[in-house]
Each structure stands twice: as structure tokens, then as C-alpha cells.
């Protein structure tokens, strides 16, 4: 046996390749394979077990009794072979019989052999068989031999799959993991959903493992590494343009791995052993996985996921399999699985088939969450490890309301889910029944309930839930779903359709808020413009005022679409009054321009600003007299108040919307608006949560713009409360510096039988 693993494996692979290319039956090939491996490793025994109908069957052997072939069968988990397959793990023993899992099979005559080494034959991360060697003399196999066996097993997987000898395809994905698993996460978008797991970035399937031209494979890896490093560098430089919304910390780790000499060296060694570039990357990954499994350290296992991600990225580059699941199309009801997603990426999916989303990261106010909420797609975030606990195609049940995720549910669980769904639908029907009832508190205070929208279809929600209008129309959604910058005419068509659907109810159009985590792929910036903190960077109104061509086109589109009606325009991320003035002047200029050309105009234009930047609160006396309305964007506002990135998964649950700091801030703003008699509303996600909405009403807020699904529950709450009593309680809590506002408000509601669901 040659002394380096590469040379040893290469020697075997060269011989195996001849066998694989020969025109004999699959069985004859397997018989040949066990001979070659046995000889090369000077092993008396070499056997191949394959999974057939869920059981491991001896398919070929050299050294054991031939009568045992196709007779000896082991269940998964049974004996050493079953253990290797179940754990997808290598075993190397000098005395097989002394292992607690050893299961003696007399028909094989294996009692003569003492040492035993076995490796799993893996396809799509599942064992489809086991390759093992046995030796009379009790000695452990050497590292080189084990390495060679593992490389051979990898090549065997290809032969076996091509010959369709073992269970393969979706059904074999359940080979090692048939159990039901229950997981929890962070409730991002409420709802229930059932569908089959689809990976946003599908795993690459390796078709060819043995190289024809080693040098060419080496070159492929070199250029794939160069491309990957370029991608990572670009992402680290501009986190907002990261395709998966990765965070800086993750990106730094990615970078460390991408430039890791050891990793490239190991891949090159695997290529030296005769593997293709794809197989070499996977081979190294398998080896790392096995090593990591022996180290029980959560920090390291996190890093392992990063490396898995990166290896998968490298595989996609090298194999040219670059597409996401959206580009391939969903074929059935799907639950999308991803580490993280950008809002534009989510919008690429077919809304009829996309039933739910599960993320390993995610936060409540990240735009992908907001988009999912707008699409009515339930999302569970921060589900650790999901990509490694579920197989593509597995059935998944999500009940975000109960914070429960079931992978591979049993029939009973499916039935229970259907029953619960039925109850939820009944409850929804109750909300629908409330659709035409006014949103008025028990003591007669009217609270306007409007909806947040962004897509053409969202306008239909108005009638469905009985809302008072659209309080926030995020115009940038149209930009996010387009492959190119939407032309003015296209924008105008959308605005007109939305206004038509709304009838005489108001629609508040917010001018484009792009930048931050809402990156437009067709508006890539120059390198020198990349930002460290995009959420606090050149975004929203800042960008729109500087690139005013975009804003002018949008203003024209809005004015023309609202001809004969009242147009409500609102500007995002206003930080100083002059920005508002400038934006308003720009729209007014377009209005005059149209007027001069005798175009039909809106009967009135109402101007509003979003309060998202805390500094604006200090200049309300200057701003308010110029405004028709103010809308508080609590998503951005709270991220800036607490200096906590709204998309950062670790901060997702750290600060409470019902913290005294936020509530006091809002209280001050509401009171100032009252002094100036300017209507003020809240349009952040906070207002869509029943308890938070209750607190806002308690602060004197009389207009909420929320996700359509929340209108029912929030209206039910409003109709049940006594606003004057609640306002007195809020005053007491804020003035008294209460630290447990959430608990106090919950208690108040529970005592009065007010539903918070
Ligand atoms: C907000 O910041 O609260 C808001 C409504 O705007 P967006 O979530 O689109 O940034
Ligand atoms: Mg905002």
C-alpha cells in the first residue's frame, strides 16, 4: 500500500474506473470491486452492504461465505454495519466481537476475522450502503487505509446510484432519519402551514466522482476558489448587498475559511487521489464533518455550519448549479428553508405554492419578515440547525402561533393539525364577521385601522378585513420584485390599480425606501460607495433626494395616478425638516409642471413624514406646522433608539417594544402632535401585535396601520377596551417608571377578559 492517502486511493480508483467503465452487470462490477479493494488493502475480507427496502443487504463479498450474499440482512442500527449506516460514521476496530453492537451472523463465517473497519457509502448525506474490510489478525487499520476506503466509498456511491442498486431518491432520504422532530424558534409571522421542505439553495448533487484529467480538475478548483473569494470580499464590503443577508460576523468567518490554506490543500490532495473537483470538495467536507462530530463544542459546531455553507457555495460555483429553488420553480406546497433571505429573494417565489418559511436567522422587523407578512406566509425564525435536521422533500407542519415546528409528522399529528386549522379558520371567520363593525372602543373612541401594503394584490385585503384604508403603501416593493428599474408608466399603473381598489378609502403612498436591507440588484453601487452601516446610510429619502430623477418619475406617476382624487404622499427616513421641505417641493414642482400642460391633477395632495429617526422628534415644532400628517415607523425608530440593528438575529428578542424608553418617547411625540393638531399614526410592525396596539391606544394613538391579518384581533381588542381607563393606567405606568409594563398591561387585559391573541 502506498504511504500517502492520495497515492493509495489513486491506485485503487484507477482500477475501479476500469471496472466501472466495463460492460458487465452491476453485480459483476461489485464482485470485482470487493476483489480490488481487498487486494489493495491486503485484507482477507472486503464486503459491500447496500440499503434495499430500508434494510442493509450483503451484496458482494470477498472472504466471507458466498452463500451469505443476498441472504445476510441487517436492519438499520443493527450490528456494526447497521451502526455505521445509521450514524453515517466510520468504525475502525481491532477486535470486532468485543464491540457492544457486534452481531454475529453464522452464515458468513466471519468468526475467523478479528479486525474490522467500515465506512458508510453516502449519497445526499444519507448512507445507502456500507463498505467494510475485515482481517484475521487483530490490528486497527491505518489512517491511510481508512482514507482510501472513504474515497472509494464515495466513488462507489456513484456506481450504485447509476445502477439503481440501492434505495435512492426521495424515499432513501428517510433511511436514517424517519422520526418526527419537534423544533421551536422565534415567531416572526403568525400562521399555520403544511408543505414539503425545499431548500432555498439546494444541495448540489455530484454526478461524477472520478476525474478524467486531474490537472483540469485542479484548475477548476483554483478558479472556483477565486470566484468564491471575490464574492465573499464583495459581501463583506457591502453587507446590505449580501444575497442571503448574512451578517458581518458570519461574513468574517466565511472570509477566514475562504482564505484558509489548509482547506485548499486538502481539496487539492483529494484531487490528487483521482477525484473530480466536486467530489474532492465533498470528500474533504465529509472528513471534516466526521472530525467535528467527535468534538462537542457548540461554538465549533456553529463554525462548522459556516464551513458547510461555504463548501456548498464552492460546489455550486464549480458545478455551475447556481440557481435558487425559486428559479427552478416550486412543484408542490412548499416550506422554504434557508439560513436567511433577502426580501427580493422571497418575492421570487410562487405565492400559490409557498406556504411557509423557516429561517436559521431572521428578526421581527427585517424586511424579509415584513414581505412575508404582506404575502401572508407564516415564518418561524431562529430555528437552529434546521438545514441539517430536515431532508429536502420532508413533510413539515408549522404552527407559528404555538411556536411549534414538526418535521415528518405522524398521521395523528396531521389530523390534530387539521383540527386546529379548522378552529383557527373558525376564529378567523369570527374576525371576518366583525369586518363591518366599527373600530370603536367601549367608551366610544374611534381608532382608525388601516393596513400596510406593497403589492398590487394587497389592496384586496382592504375589503377582506374591513380596513379604513392603506396607511402605508411601501412603493419600493415594486422595485424589489422587478428585474430592472420599473418605468414611470408601470409605476403609475400600479398606483392607479391600488387607488381604484381602495375606492374612497385613503391610500398613503410612501416614496421609495431603498437601501438598507432593501438592496436592488440592478442598482449596484460603485465600490467606493460601499457602507459599513447601510441602515444608517445612504437610503430612503437621502438617496431619493440625491438621485432625484427617480423621485421625480415617482412623483409624476403618483400625481397622474391620483388624478381626480386625494393623493397622500409620505416621505421615509426624514431626519431634518429641510429634507421634508425639499421632497415636498420636488412633488409640488411636478404638480406645477403637469398643471402647465393641462393634465388632470389630484383634487388635493396631503403630505406626511415618517418619524423613524429620533432626531426628528426634537424639531417637531418646526416640522409639524408644515405637515398634514405624521406616521411613526417603529421598526426603524426602535432600531435607532436602542442602537440595535433590526435585522440582527441576536438582537431580535433583546429589547421590548413595551419598554419604558420607547413608550415615553412615543408619548411625547403623540402629545406634541396633539398640541399642533396634526394627526399621528403608527405604521411599524409593533402596531400589529395586540398587546402593543393596546399600549399605543393607551398613549392616545388613534390611527394604526398594520398587517391585514392583525386587523381582526386588534379590532376585537379595541372594541373591548375602555380607552379612558387604559390611558389612565398608561399615565401611571410611564410617570411611575414601571419596569414591568408588559406584565402589567397583560394583567389589565386578562382581568377584563380582553383577548390578546
Ligand atoms: C418602519 O420603519 O417602521 C416602517 C414602517 O418602515 P419599513 O419597515 O419599511 O422600514
Ligand atoms: Mg422604516
How far is residue 52's CA from residue 167's CA, in Å, rounded to a whole number?
5
Q: Which whole number is the average pLDDT over 352-377?
A: 87
**Over 90: is that where the pLDDT of 422 sits?**
no
Most confident segment among 101-105, 143-147, 746-750: 746-750
Retrieve residue 248's grid coordinates. Answer: 458581518
Of all ligands present, the nearest one to the C-alpha of 685 is: 1
Residues 408 and 267 in one domain: no
Q: Give the distance (Å) from ligand 1 centre to CA of residue 578.
A: 21
Residue 299: how many other CB atoms lie within 10 Å: 7
171 inside domain = no
Dihedral (C-alpha) 424, 428, 429, 433: value to the nearest 10 degrees? Answer: 150
What global pTM score does this model have?
0.62
β-bridge pairing 507-510 and 379-381:
unpaired
Helix (H) or strand (E) holding 236: helix 214-237
**The predicted structure's pLDDT at residue 526:** 53
**What per-residue confidence (pLDDT) applies to 242?**
34
Q: Among 573, 669, 684, which residue has the most ligand 1 atoms within 8 Å of its CB, making it the best to mutate?
A: 684
Same domain as 447, residue 419:
no
What would the pLDDT profile of 567-613 be if each residue is shown by its tens digit?
A: 999 999 999 999 999 999 999 999 999 999 999 999 999 999 999 99
What are the residues facing 569 on neighbouring strands? 509, 607
Ligand nearest to the CA of 371: 1
Q: Are residues 695 and 720 in the same domain?
A: yes
Q: What's the pLDDT score for residue 419?
A: 82
**What average pLDDT is seen over the chain?**
87
Among the bound ligands, the one closest to the CA of 574: 2
Cα–ligand 1 centroid distance for 684 (angstroms): 6
Counting ligands in written order, which one lies closest to the CA of residue 639? Answer: 1
Claim to verify: residue 732 and residue 643 sit in the same structural domain: yes
Alpha carbon distance 49, 60 (integer Å): 7
Note whether 616 and 735 are same-domain residues.
Answer: yes
Q: To test ligand 1's pocket by mutation, which of 374, 575, 612, 710 has the most ligand atoms within 8 angstroms of CB?
A: 612
Give me ligand 1 centre to Cα 472, in Å.
Answer: 9
- Phi/psi of residue 655, nearest 5 degrees: -110, 145
Question: What are the residues whose beta carbons fall under 8 Å from the beta carbon of 353, sequence distance 6 or more?
Answer: 195, 330, 331, 332, 333, 334
388 plus 492 within the same structural domain: no
Question: Average pLDDT, stretch 666-680?
Answer: 98
Three-state secondary-structure class, residue 119: strand
Q: Which pLDDT value is given to residue 172?
A: 36
Residues in the chain: 757
Of the three residues 406, 433, 460, the one that is the final residue of a domain is 433
* Model confidence band, residue 344 (pLDDT cutoffs 50, 70, 90): confident
Give residue-wise pLDDT tens across range 128-155: 999 999 988 888 898 888 888 988 898 8
Arithmetic mean of pLDDT, 360-368? 82
What is the C-alpha to C-alpha distance for residues 236 and 242, in angstroms, rounded to an integer?
A: 8
Instruction: Give first-to-last CA distance, the chain, whole Å.
Output: 69
Residue 259's pLDDT band (boundaries 50, 70, 90)? confident
Ligand 1 atom nearest 683 alpha carbon: 5
For residue 173, being part of any structural domain is answered with no
- The better pLDDT of the pair 17, 452 is held by 452
Cβ-contact 121, 150 below 8 angstroms = no
Percent of the chain having pLDDT more than 90? 52
- For range 7-19, the mean pLDDT: 82
pLDDT of res. 576? 97
- Residue closest via CA to ligand 1's atom 1 equals 633
Ligand 1 pocket, residues with Cβ under 6 angstroms: 370, 472, 474, 513, 612, 633-636, 683-684
- Which of 12-21, 210-219, 339-348, 529-538 reaches the highest mean pLDDT? 210-219
Mark out the alpha helices in 376-475 (DSSP H runs).
Answer: 386-389, 411-433, 461-465
Write out pLDDT tens, residues 224-237: 999 988 877 776 66
- Domain range for residue 16? 5-162
Domain boundary among 307, 322, 337: 322
For ligand 1, what atom is nearest to the CA of residue 472? Answer: 5
Our count of domains for the chain comes to: 4
The reply to whether 287 and 333 lie within a common domain is no
Question: Looking at ligand 1, which atom is closest to the CA of residue 367?
Answer: 8
Instruction: Please give the radius of gyration of the chain, using alpha carbons only, rounded to the nearest integer.
Output: 31
Question: What's the pLDDT at 170?
Answer: 39
Taking 90 as the threshold, does the pLDDT of residue 691 lie above it? yes
Are 609 and 644 in a shared domain?
Answer: yes
Q: Kindly give the number of the ligand 1 atom that is closest to the alpha carbon of 632.
A: 3
Band the pLDDT of 298: cuts 50, 70, 90. Answer: low
Cβ pair 200, 346 in contact under 8 A: no
How far apart are the CA of 645 and the centre of ligand 1, in A? 13
Amino acid at each position: 500500500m502506498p504511504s500517502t492517502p492520495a497515492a493509495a486511493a489513486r491506485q485503487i480508483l484507477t482500477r475501479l474506473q476500469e471496472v466501472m467503465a466495463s460492460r458487465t452487470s452491476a453485480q459483476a462490477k461489485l464482485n470485482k470491486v470487493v476483489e480490488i479493494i481487498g487486494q489493495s488493502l491486503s485484507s482477507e475480507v472486503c464486503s459491500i452492504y447496500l440499503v434495499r427496502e430500508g434494510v442493509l443487504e450483503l451484496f458482494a463479498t470477498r472472504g466471507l461465505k458466498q452463500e451469505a450474499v443476498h441472504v445476510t440482512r441487517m436492519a438499520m442500527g443493527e450490528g456494526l454495519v447497521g451502526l455505521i449506516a445509521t450514524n453515517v460514521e466510520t468504525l475502525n476496530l481491532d477486535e470486532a466481537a468485543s464491540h457492544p453492537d457486534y452481531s454475529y451472523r453464522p452464515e458468513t463465517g466471519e468468526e475467523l476475522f478479528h479486525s474490522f473497519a467500515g465506512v458508510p457509502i453516502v449519497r445526499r448525506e444519507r448512507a445507502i450502503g456500507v463498505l467494510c474490510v475485515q482481517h484475521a489478525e487483530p490490528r486497527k487499520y491505518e489512517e491511510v487505509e481508512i482514507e482510501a476506503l472513504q474515497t472509494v466509498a464515495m466513488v462507489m456511491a456513484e456506481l450504485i446510484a447509476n445502477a439503481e442498486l440501492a434505495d435512492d431518491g426521495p424515499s432513501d432520504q428517510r433511511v436514517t432519519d424517519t422520526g418526527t422532530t419537534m423544533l421551536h424558534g422565534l415567531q416572526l409571522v403568525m400562521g399555520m402551514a403544511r408543505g414539503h421542505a425545499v431548500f432555498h439553495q439546494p444541495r448540489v448533487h455530484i454526478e461524477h466522482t472520478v476525474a478524467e484529467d486531474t490537472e483540469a480538475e485542479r484548475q477548476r478548483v483554483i478558479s472556483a476558489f477565486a470566484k468564491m473569494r471575490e464574492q465573499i470580499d464583495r459581501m463583506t464590503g457591502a453587507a446590505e448587498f449580501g444575497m442571503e443577508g448574512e451578517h458581518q460576523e458570519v461574513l468574517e468567518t466565511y472570509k477566514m475559511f475562504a482564505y484558509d490554506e489548509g482547506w485548499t490543500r486538502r481539496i487539492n490532495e483529494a484531487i490528487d487521489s483521482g477525484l473530480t473537483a466536486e467530489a474532492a470538495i465533498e470528500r474533504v467536507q465529509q472528513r471534516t464533518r466526521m472530525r467535528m462530530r467527535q468534538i462537542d463544542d457548540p461554538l465549533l459546531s456553529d463554525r462548522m455550519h459556516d464551513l458547510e455553507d461555504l463548501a456548498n457555495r464552492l460546489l455550486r460555483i464549480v458545478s455551475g448549479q447556481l440557481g435558487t429553488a425559486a428559479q427552478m420553480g416550486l412543484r408542490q406546497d412548499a416550506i422554504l428553508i434557508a439560513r436567511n433571505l433577502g426580501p427580493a429573494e422571497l418575492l421570487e417565489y410562487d405565492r400559490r405554492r409557498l406556504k411557509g418559511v423557516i429561517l436559521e436567522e431572521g428578526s421581527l422587523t427585517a424586511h424579509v419578515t415584513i414581505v412575508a407578512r404582506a404575502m401572508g406566509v407564516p415564518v418561524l425564525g431562529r430555528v437552529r440547525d434546521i438545514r441539517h435536521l430536515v431532508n429536502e422533500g420532508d413533510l413539515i407542519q408549522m404552527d407559528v402561533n404555538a411556536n411549534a415546528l414538526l418535521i415528518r409528522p405522524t398521521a395523528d399529528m396531521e389530523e390534530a393539525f387539521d383540527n386546529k386549522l379548522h378552529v383557527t379558520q373558525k376564529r378567523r371567520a369570527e374576525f371576518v364577521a366583525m369586518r363591518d363593525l366599527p373600530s370603536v372602543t367601549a367608551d366610544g373612541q374611534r381608532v382608525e385601522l388601516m393596513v400596510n401594503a406593497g403589492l398590487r394584490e394587497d389592496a384586496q385585503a382592504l375589503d377582506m378585513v374591513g380596513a379604513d384604508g392603506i396607511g402605508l403603501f411601501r412603493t419600493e416593493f415594486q422595485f424589489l420584485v422587478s428585474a430592472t428599474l420599473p418605468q414611470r408608466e408601470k409605476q403609475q399603473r400600479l398606483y392607479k390599480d391600488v387607488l381604484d381598489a381602495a375606492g374612497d378609502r385613503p391610500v398613503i403612498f410612501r416614496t421609495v425606501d431603498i437601501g438598507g436591507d432593501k438592496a436592488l440588484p440592478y442598482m449596484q453601487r460603485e465600490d467606493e460607495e460601499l457602507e459599513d452601516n447601510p441602515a444608517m446610510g445612504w437610503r430612503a429619502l437621502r438617496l431619493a433626494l440625491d438621485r432625484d430623477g427617480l423621485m421625480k418619475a415617482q412623483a409624476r406617476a403618483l400625481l397622474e395616478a391620483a388624478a381626480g382624487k386625494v393623493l397622500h404622499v409620505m416621505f421615509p427616513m426624514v431626519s431634518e425638516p429641510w429634507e421634508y421641505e425639499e421632497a415636498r417641493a420636488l412633488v409640488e414642482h411636478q404638480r406645477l409642471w403637469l398643471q402647465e400642460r393641462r393634465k388632470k391633477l389630484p383634487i388635493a395632495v396631503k403630505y406626511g413624514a415618517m418619524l423613524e429617526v429620533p432626531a426628528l422628534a426634537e424639531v417637531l415644532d418646526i416640522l409639524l406646522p408644515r405637515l398634514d400628517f405624521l406616521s411613526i415607523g417603529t421598526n426603524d425608530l426602535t432600531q435607532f433608539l436602542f442602537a440595535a440593528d433590526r435585522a440582527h438575529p441576536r438582537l431580535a428578542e433583546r429589547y421590548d417594544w413595551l419598554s419604558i424608553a420607547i413608550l415615553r418617547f412615543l408619548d411625547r411625540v403623540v402629545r406634541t402632535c396633539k398640541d399642533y393638531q396634526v394627526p399621528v399614526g403608527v405604521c411599524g410592525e409593533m402596531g400589529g401585535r395586540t398587546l402593543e396596539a393596546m399600549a399605543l391606544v393607551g398613549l392616545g394613538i388613534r390611527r394604526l396601520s398594520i398587517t391585514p391579518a392583525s386587523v381582526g384581533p386588534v379590532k376585537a381588542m379595541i372594541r373591548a377596551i375602555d380607552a379612558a381607563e387604559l390611558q389612565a393606567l398608561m399615565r401611571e405606568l410611564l410617570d411611575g417608571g414601571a419596569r414591568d409594563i408588559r406584565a402589567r398591561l397583560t394583567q389589565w387585559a386578562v382581568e377584563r377578559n380582553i383577548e390578546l391573541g
